[in-house]
Structure 1
Amino acid sequence: MSTPPQKRVYPKLPVWIVEDHHEVVQHIYRAIGSKHIPMKDIKMVHLDSHPDLLIPVNMPADTVYDKETLLSELSIENWIMPMVYAGHISHVAWLHPYWAQQIKEGEHSMCVGRDSSTTTIRVTSRDDYFLSDALYVPLDQLENPKKLHLDVIRVDPANCLQKKKDKNGQSGAKIPKAAVKEDCDVLFKKDTPCTSSSQPLDGSTASGDVIDTVMKADVGSTSYITDKLLAVIEQTDPFILDIDLDFFSCKNPFKEMFTQEEYDLLQELYSFSRPPQDPTEEELSDCVERRTHQLEDLEAAFADLVEDDGQETVERLAANPRMKSLIRLVHSLKNRTQSPDYEMVHQAGLTCDFSELPHHISSEEEIQQMITAVQLFLEALPKPTIVTISRSSLDEYCPAEQVDSIQNSVLDILESLFGCLDVHREYESISSESTSQTP
């Protein structure tokens, strides 16, 4: 009778810090290769103001079996799902701050597979987040489907930091765990609207006022978060703790690139028309087809504008009834800059579908309250196998003036909870390479 292989354990908890979030994938793959985390059924706790659960729209599904090509195809919003399709990740807990709610609160179960008609990766979830990117297909259209369990869990700030700071003269990250827990367990902000909805495993909204009311009572609290996480992560489970520093303070960088009028025009052009409530498969198919054509038309239009943004081109494009806002948008952009970056305009437009990107620049007190909240629920979890951290500061999702202090606070709580860390600041080597190449 053979004994199961011993689980490999790092001497110190490795913490990989990168700039752009998709750069963590290579470090996750390295941990898989060294057998510190398993090849399949990996669980990930993902703290972020954004779900990062989109899919590279035109990437062939089989790209996941060519690591180097895959890494070159990934971006900050779509790095998780290819690992799901590859069979590595099976559970994701997306922990989001109260200001970010792109996917409905609760439990979702979906399949991620190869679309038999396009050979790209697609998903069976009917949530607006996926429908608005035209990523939905029915299960019978998927080849090699992989199950993904997704828990969407709101985190509210712990409302006790200032009290402890006044008493102890130290930051929340340095407060002894027992002292923090004593004052913070039930002191959470209740002044933000609760948008939770309990969801059954098929990803559809659950009915039943009793369940919904019970969930709303303490959504965002430490007990709510730990109950959700410990239902998935057992004490002996290897898991990835993944943190985007924009979880603590988040900008929508596109808001500073455009005037309010331009942003409103982008929302008109890219607005997503939802299917009816409780849609049939035919209605879902129509919704996805309509959205696909809309996004393809917009991509083609802005590609044309890159080549020629003269009046004749703009008027030709605006002849499409869905493009009538284009004339005003182009005129406004050209009044402000001689050569608008139309590729960037299109990328900004893609974020203007059913909701805006989160935008909440936190005060120092708010940041520390969120740091304390994270410390409280991490205290209840087993030690992660690996920690990945994204700074997200160069693209301005995390304010550049706050990112270093947030990072230091996060490292402080990780060290206080899990002991010595093996910290790899990968963003520094990339920055050094860029500097050395500057003429």
Structure 2
Amino acid sequence: MAEVCDQVTNLKRFKKIPIYVVEEHNDALQFIYSAIGGKKLPLEGTTLLHLDAHPDMLIDRKLKGEEARSGRHVLPLLQIENWIVPAAAAGHISRIVWLRPPWASQFRDDTRSIHVGDHPTSGELRVDCKEPYYLSDALYCSQLVNKRKFIFTSAELSDSSLAEDENNIQKLITNLDITQPYVLDIDLDFFSTGNPFLGLYGNINVYDRLQPIFEFKLPDNNDSETIDKVVELRERQLEELERLFQHLERCDNLDEYQGERTQLYHMVAELAAAIVEEAERLNEKPDWWAVFAGGCTRDQGGLPYHISTEEEIQNLVKKALVPLLKNIPPPVLITIARSTDDGYCPPHQVDYIQNLVLETLKEMYDTDDPALYYLNVNTTEL
């Protein structure tokens, strides 16, 4: 603890608070790592204040723990849904505060300690959290090596929850207890949230038909032995689904599939035949990767979806974001993700939301002109 305090005391300061605007949210992490390298953030102990309609706290199931701890080498291995926990595994982020809009509920609102580390056999990165978010992706492991603890808080941030009541604002601020140094991270889909998979072959209701194929049923018993067995079965299910869709990607059907003809095989084969027929009608090749990705979001019912009105967006900024930021210290740096190319922030609203958020931040803080990093073609290198 004393070492972390020394790191904080010896930090350098930006002359003005930098703002980095990216398209894909995982691209924000490189700026956090650069700030660590420049001694603007400590090597360990940073808080991430994360406003988003999605937690982004999954883990790539094939990511090794040693890769997560490899500094900037991990950056090209990350995607939008799994960029935060590897930074916690490396010790750079010790606390994550996910502030969600009212229509997102992937985690229960609470504060909990989570350990992240390596699976003792495979070396793949895993957590010891038993919540559905991790169980459904087979990311739980009761025995971890090279483990680290981080604190995770989930809470709702909305104009109605804060309203104009000073007591509500102070209660939230007290519960969150945001202290420096921290990074303010905002996904613009917090203010209006699309679901890119809803329209996937909509005429044949593919998104709904994926539910029984990818569905995950929570165990009745919460003891570690039971959970370990359930996770092992879930991992086999996900691996089988991945093999089936890889075969579809190559062949567009499962006729020559060499694996066992399980119930899952027959369910996927039936859906695949319908997709091929619909794709032919549309005169296009089936997008099996999109279907598989959509299925992976159906394990716990699906993704949040709420297209906000302009008034709702304004209220979230003026009556939720502003009261929050007024009552906590300024961040070291700010990252903003547009998340519109992948369909999570509605394209017809993203520029309006971005301008409103940037204007608000400029009014509140002494900020640099925003670095519009998404305008660069190559967003994987600084």
Same fold (TM over 0.5): yes
Q: Which amino acid aligns with 1:51?
A: P
Larger radius of gyration: 1
Q: In the alignment, which residue of structure 2 is the partner of 1:185?
A: 164
Deviation readout 1:354-375 (Å, 9 max, x if unpaired): 1211111101011111112111
Tell me how far 1:431 sits from its aligned partner.
Answer: 8.0
Counterpart Cα distance in 1 of 2:196 and 2:154:
24
Counterpart Cα distance in 2 of 1:245 and 1:311:
40
Q: Secondary structure at the match of 1:421?
A: coil
Q: In the alignment, which residue of structure 1 is the partner of 2:86?
A: 82
Counterpart Cα distance in 2 of 1:146 and 1:388:
25
Counterpart Cα distance in 2 of 1:114 and 1:327:
35
Matching residue within 307, 312, 324 for 2:266: 324
Matching residue within 241, 265, 268 for 1:298: 241
1:65 and 1:106, CA in 2 relative to 1: closer, same or farther beyond 3 A? closer
Deviation readout 1:64-111 (Å, 9 max, x if unpaired): 343443111000000001101111111000000000010111111110
Deviation readout 1:98-125 (Å, 9 max, x if unpaired): 0001011111111011111110110010
Answer whether contact 1:262 1:332 (CA < 8 A) is retained.
no
Tell me how far 1:297 sits from its aligned partner.
Answer: 0.4
Seq. identity, %: 35
Q: In the alignment, which residue of structure 2 is the partner of 1:178?
A: none
Residue correspondence of structure 1 range 269-418 to structure 2 within 5 A: 269-277=213-221, 279-310=222-253, 312-313=255-256, 319-338=261-280, 339-372=285-318, 373-418=320-365
Q: In the alignment, which residue of structure 2 is the partner of 1:206?
A: none
2:368 pairs with 1:424: no
Counterpart Cα distance in 1 of 2:197 and 2:259:
24
Q: In the alignment, which residue of structure 2 is the partner of 1:57?
A: 61
Tell me how far 1:334 sits from its aligned partner.
Answer: 1.3
Q: Secondary structure at the match of 1:387?
A: strand
Residue correspondence of structure 1 range 131-210 to structure 2 within 5 A: 131-138=135-142, 141-158=143-160, 184-186=163-165
> Normalized against structure 2, the TM-score is what?
0.91
The alignment's C-alpha RMSD in Å is 2.3
Answer whether contact 2:252 2:286 (CA < 8 A) is retained.
no
Counterpart Cα distance in 1 of 2:165 and 2:200:
40
Q: Secondary structure at the match of 2:198?
A: helix
Counterpart Cα distance in 2 of 1:102 and 1:256:
21
> Normalized against structure 1, the TM-score is what?
0.79
* Unaligned residue ranges in structure 1 (runs of 5+): 160-180, 188-217, 434-439
1:43 and 1:340, CA in 2 relative to 1: closer, same or farther beyond 3 A? same
1:360 and 1:110, CA in 2 relative to 1: closer, same or farther beyond 3 A? same
The size of the alignment, in residue pairs, is: 368
Q: Which amino acid aligns with 2:165?
A: V
Tell me how far 1:321 sits from its aligned partner.
Answer: 1.4
* Unaligned residue ranges in structure 2 (runs of 5+): none
Q: Which amino acid aligns with 1:393?
A: T
Answer whether contact 1:246 1:398 (CA < 8 A) is retained.
yes
Q: Which amino acid aligns with 1:337?
A: A
Deviation readout 1:138-165 (Å, 9 max, x if unpaired): 1xx2111111100101012259xxxxxx
Deviation readout 1:232-265 (Å, 9 max, x if unpaired): x23xx21100000000001010111232632222
